[in-house]
Copies of this chain bind each other. A is one copy, B any other.
Amino acid sequence: MVVDELSDESVDRLFHALADATRRSILRRCVRGELSVSRLAEDYPMSFAAVQKHVAVLERAGLVTKQRRGREQLVRTDAEAIARARQVLDELEATWRGRVDRMARLLAQDPEPDDKTPKEG
């Protein structure tokens, strides 16, 4: 089980890579099966080089891996990387649930246990 802390930079790269419709489309297509870069490029209204750059962004974010097959480069999305991104959001939601719990306790007039809330910033 991977419980590593992700560095700010990796999370930056992760979400930045996800913040583009073309890249998300590439991710979806390469979850279903590996595709070469030129195959991918056929279906987008932009140059091959542009698609190549998008794949590079996904690769630096760890969201896809490439593997040579002959002269082709097969792109495949890494489901674990997507899980990593989700984990960041899970933690945010967990904090939120924690806050709701404290609210509930307050409303029930229970004393707060021990506020180990990690400081931010």
**Closest chain B residue to A30, Cβ basis:** B120
Task: Tell me, yes or no, whether A37 is within 8 Å of chain B by CB.
Answer: no
Task: Tell me, yes or no, whether A55 is within 8 Å of chain B by CB.
Answer: no
Which of the residues B31, B44, B90 comes within 8 Å of A99, measured between beta carbons? Answer: B31
Chain B residues within 8 Å of A44, by CB: 121
Q: Is the pair B96, A31 in contact by a Cβ cutoff of 8 Å?
A: yes
A window 14-41: CB within 8 A of B: 14-16, 18-21, 24-25, 27-29, 31-34
Looking at the assembled complex, report how far the CB atom of A105 sits from the nearest CB atom of chain B, in whole angstroms: 14
12 residue pairs bridging A and B, Cβ less than 8 Å apart: A11-B24, A12-B19, A12-B20, A16-B16, A16-B19, A18-B19, A24-B92, A27-B92, A32-B95, A32-B117, A79-B120, A80-B121
